[in-house]
Structure 1
Amino acid sequence: MTMEDVRERAARPEDLSRFVVERLNAGDVEGLVALYEPDAVLALPDGGVARGTDEIRRAYAALVADRPVFTAGKQQPTLVSGDLALTSVRLPGGGVTVEVARRQEDGTWLWVIDQPSLPI
Structure 2
Amino acid sequence: MTSLPLDALVVVADGEGARVFRNRGEQGAVSLHQYDLLELMNMNDDGPARSMPGESTSRQLDEATFAKQLAKSLNEAALKQQYEHLVLVADPTTLGRVRPLLHKEATQRLLAEVGKDLTNVPLENIERAIAGP
The TM-score, its normalising length taken from structure 2, stands at: 0.25
Higher helix fraction (1 or 2): 2
Higher strand fraction (1 or 2): 1
The TM-score, its normalising length taken from structure 1, stands at: 0.27
